[in-house]
Amino acid sequence: MAKRKRALITGITGQDGSYLTEFLLAKDYEVYGLVRRSSSFNTDRIDHLYQDPHESDVKLRLVYGDLNDASSLNQIIKTLKPDEIYNLAAQSHVRVSFDIPEYTAEIVGLGATRILEAIRDSGVMSKYYQASSSEMFGNSAPPQNERTPFYPRSPYAAAKVYAYWMAVNYREAYDIFACNGILFNHESPRRGETFVTRKITMALARIKHGVQKDLFLGNLESKRDWGFAGDYVEAMWLMLQQDKPDDYVIATGQTYSVKDFLIEAFGYVGLDWEKYVKIDQRYFRPTEVDCLLGDSRKAKKILHWEPKTDFKQLVRMMVDADMACVEKQIYGTKGRR
Ligand code: NAP
Ligand code: G4F
């Protein structure tokens, strides 16, 4: 019997970590997830995948560590000798990165370097996936592809640019199989509730059920290339299955404004968004990224990857999930009677 591949995922408790874990377990991987210590449980996105470590043939295990702590990363990588490492952990909120720029650089930038150094130092030569971001393109005119210059517009984006180049450098300097997935925005019912799409769908469900009056937002004019996270994790895996490491843009090739998202979501449940949305300056950023629109022809040609979910399907999937979630909160586990 062929030996199971072993993957280490940082950021396993996040949106992408949960979908990637499902994807790799379905491919019969042994998955190790790096979790940081928290005073309350932070594993709800992967609770449905939990396996009692006392059972036999356990395929998912969690290990304590932190991207801020090189010693834990060195130890984990040396001991586990993973075939593949997916570095998804980050302080991933762009607006928040203006409030905590130094911490953001520490985790997003230096955290990636710590993992690359741990791989080099261990001699294990695990394949490495770096969660790079379309935010790195910032002010560069759309459409953006692998040859578009970076022009970061936030501490988060600047830190991601540094991590991107460190992955390239370790590939060229030490022959490490390091890939950058330059992913455009991807969303899902598991998206964090402070990102704009989920903030909208959650508020909409609460408004529809009469438990919220207003929705406060910032800039409604910015445009994003929004895809479904469940589709995007397959691209991460595909990058590490190629003969040669490389960098790829992953996107839908369609761009919509925040206002478009509001129109689609509120329209779906028969409400007029303009009656509920109010503008609050606190949600604006000192520097904004106006328009992201990805050109992922390289991924299509080499990885044979294409998105399966379009904008309308994504919005409806998120609204349906949050309507069910709010109903459960209001009416209990039996839902509306
Ligand atoms: P997310 O939901 O915010 O998840 C972030 C994950 O990182 C969580 O598991 C979090 O753990 C973990 N984390 C944060 N700080 C850490 C630390 N110091 N040490 C260890 N773990 C830490 O993010 P996501 O949307 O899944 O995105 C995954 C990755 O892709 C991120 O690197 C993000 O920057 C990047 N990215 C995302 C998108 C997108 O549209 N979603 C697009 C491009 C790139 P806790 O649960 O304990 O907080
Ligand atoms: O949902 P957002 O916070 O996502 P943003 O800034 O595009 O970043 C996300 O995608 C990146 C990939 O391009 C990732 F790298 C990053 O980790 C993260 O996942 O904001 C989207 C847009 C922005 O233009 C923002 O100004 O929505 C606008 N917006 C308007 N009102 C708001 C709000 N954003 C948030 N979070 N909250 C608001 O109330």
pLDDT digits (tens, 9 = 90+) for 187-203: 999 999 999 999 999 99
Which residue out of 94, 137, 150, 187 has the highest number of ligand 2 atoms within 8 Å of its CB and is therefore the one to mutate? Answer: 94
Where do we find the tokens 């377990």? 25
Both structure tokens of 258: 């925040």
Up-side HSE of residue 42: CA atoms within 13 Å toward CB?
Answer: 17
Beta carbons within 10 angstroms of residue 280's beta carbon: 11
Cβ of residue 68 lying under 6 Å from some atom of ligand 1: yes
Contacts of 66 (CB under 8 A, 6+ apart): 34, 36, 37, 72
Q: Is residue 75 part of a domain?
A: yes
One domain, residues 141 and 206: no
Q: Is residue 266 part of a domain?
A: yes
pLDDT of residue 317: 98
92 alpha carbon – ligand 1 mean position (Å): 5
One domain, residues 68 and 159: yes
Both structure tokens of 205: 């469900």
Closest CA to ligand 2's atom 5? 94
One domain, residues 114 and 238: yes
One domain, residues 238 and 322: no
DSSP states along 120-143: HHHT---EEEEEEEGGGGTTSPSS
One domain, residues 146 and 171: yes
One domain, residues 63 and 84: yes
Work out how many domains the chain is built from and give that number. Answer: 2
Of all atoms in ligand 2, which is nearest to the CA of residue 92?
17
| Centroid of chain to Cα 56 | 31
Cβ of residue 21 lying under 6 Å from some atom of ligand 1: no
One domain, residues 28 and 39: yes
What's the CATH number where 218 sits? 3.90.25.10
Q: Is residue 240 part of a domain?
A: yes
One domain, residues 18 and 167: yes
Q: Is residue 58 part of a domain?
A: yes
82 closest CA partner among 93, 91, 73, 94:
73
One domain, residues 80 and 177: yes
145 alpha carbon – ligand 2 mean position (Å): 20
Cβ of residue 36 lying under 6 Å from some atom of ligand 1: yes
Of all atoms in ligand 1, which is nearest to the CA of residue 12?
9
Q: Is residue 300 part of a domain?
A: no
Both structure tokens of 12: 């396993």
Domain that holds residue 80: 6-187+225-250
Where do we find the tokens 């509920």? 276
Between CA 130 and CA 315 the distance in angstroms is 27
Both structure tokens of 164: 């991107």
What's the CATH number where 165 sits? 3.40.50.720
Active-site annotation holder among 117, 135, 187, 264: 135
Q: For the whole prediction, is pTM greater than 0.75?
A: yes
Q: Is residue 293 part of a domain?
A: no
| Centroid of chain to Cα 18 | 10
One domain, residues 127 and 263: no
Cβ of residue 92 lying under 6 Å from some atom of ligand 1: yes
Cβ of residue 104 lying under 6 Å from some atom of ligand 1: no
Between CA 132 and CA 228 the distance in angstroms is 17
One domain, residues 40 and 107: yes
317 alpha carbon – ligand 1 mean position (Å): 22
The DSSP output letter for 311 is H
Please list the ranges in the chain whose pLDDT falls under 50: 337
Where do we find the tokens 């984006």? 157
108 alpha carbon – ligand 1 mean position (Å): 9
**Catalytic-residue membership of 135:** yes
Q: Is residue 301 part of a domain?
A: no
The kind and range of the H/E element at 16 are: helix 15-26
Active-site annotation holder among 86, 156, 232, 256: 156
pLDDT of residue 3: 87
183 closest CA partner among 326, 294, 35, 317:
294
One domain, residues 137 and 215: no
Cβ of residue 252 lying under 6 Å from some atom of ligand 2: no
Q: Is residue 322 part of a domain?
A: yes
Beta bridge partners of 249: 182
Cβ of residue 224 lying under 6 Å from some atom of ligand 1: no
